[in-house]
């Protein structure tokens, strides 16, 4: 039985992931060959904390399961409940305002906020971007008594005990809308987004790719795109 363990996920290379999947197991592991039917041990609640360290500032993380919390997750929280923090020692050199420093103080929060990002960007790239940590709790609760009521997972628990995270740069409410760009009178020869010949390597941008519309480019968005990472518009993008 895995109970009360804490795992600190680190990698050798830069851990600025955009999408991450955690697979904890399936409910059958409690009841089948190595579970209750095999050992006759009473099934018990399990919980595992996972710390996922990341580089590159994040506003928040969306998740396939669980609540986004404004505090450190606890064993009593629902499966997949999570929160993030930024390391305080990396924020100290920035001389932040009191409001921004309160978010960047090593305490858990549900999102870091656009105001903090603007203050951090005033010092980039002179100072390193603050790193942080995403913490989630994977809880597996058992109900029943094995006699009148069979043992089983708590109602509402997912059948496949796993979780997917998506890193988000924009606030939950969305990124601010930029001021409209002046019309470029030289932009007469536009191209379609769907035209592969207009993109580097001759391929239309795929899921989670960074996209740059050059200063001299005019692109007409004529198709539904997959979910992208960054879209930088230096020229014109027409919808």
Q: Which of 114, 238, 221, 117 is nearest to 176 (CA)?
A: 114
Q: How confident is the model at residue 180 (pLDDT cuts 50, 70, 90)?
A: low
* Cis amide prior to 166 (ω within 30 degrees): no
pLDDT digits (tens, 9 = 90+) for 94-129: 889 998 898 999 999 999 988 898 888 888 778 888
Provide the percentage of residues in the chain whose pLDDT is more than 70: 80
Q: Is the pLDDT of residue 68 over 90?
A: yes
Beta strand ranges found along 33-131 (DSSP E): 46-54, 60-63, 82-86
Element holding 36 (H helix, E strand): helix 36-39
pLDDT of residue 149: 83
pLDDT of residue 147: 80
What is the C-alpha to C-alpha distance for residues 116 and 99, in angstroms, rounded to an integer? 8
DSSP 154: P
DSSP 182: P
User: Rounded to whole angstroms, what are the CA distances from 110 to 67, 70, 116, 168, 230?
Assistant: 9, 4, 14, 12, 22
pTM assigned to the model: 0.68
Q: Is the pLDDT of residue 179 over 80?
A: no
Q: How many CA atoms lie within 13 A of 124 on its CB side?
A: 13
pLDDT digits (tens, 9 = 90+) for 16-65: 678 888 877 666 554 444 455 545 667 777 788 888 888 878 899 999 98
| Stretch 117-142: mean pLDDT | 85
Average pLDDT, the chain: 81
DSSP string computed for 135-152: EEEEEE-EE--SSSS--E
pLDDT of residue 136: 92
CA 197 to chain centre: 33
């Amino acid at each position: 039985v895995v109970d009360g363990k804490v795992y600190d996920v680190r990698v050798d290379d830069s851990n600025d992931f955009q999408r991450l999947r955690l697979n904890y197991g399936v409910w059958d592991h409690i009841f089948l060959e190595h579970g209750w039917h095999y050992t006759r041990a009473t099934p018990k609640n399990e919980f595992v904390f996972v710390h996922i360290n990341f580089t590159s500032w994040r506003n928040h993380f969306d998740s396939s399961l669980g609540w986004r919390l404004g505090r450190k997750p606890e064993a009593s929280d629902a499966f997949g409940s999570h929160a993030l923090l930024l390391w305080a020692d990396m924020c100290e050199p920035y001389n932040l305002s009191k409001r921004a420093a309160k978010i960047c103080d090593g305490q858990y929060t549900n999102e870091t906020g656009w105001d903090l990002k603007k203050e951090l960007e005033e010092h980039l790239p002179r100072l390193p971007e603050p790193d942080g940590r995403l913490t989630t709790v994977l809880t597996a609760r058992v109900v029943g008594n094995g006699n009148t009521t069979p043992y089983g997972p708590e109602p509402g628990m997912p059948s496949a005990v796993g979780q997917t995270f998506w890193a988000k740069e924009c606030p939950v409410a969305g990124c601010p809308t930029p001021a409209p760009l002046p019309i470029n009178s030289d932009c007469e020869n536009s191209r379609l987004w769907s035209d592969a010949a207009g993109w580097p390597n001759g391929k239309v941008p795929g899921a989670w790719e960074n996209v740059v519309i050059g200063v001299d480019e005019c692109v007409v968005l004529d198709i539904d795109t997959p979910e992208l990472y960054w879209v930088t518009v230096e020229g014109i993008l027409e919808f």
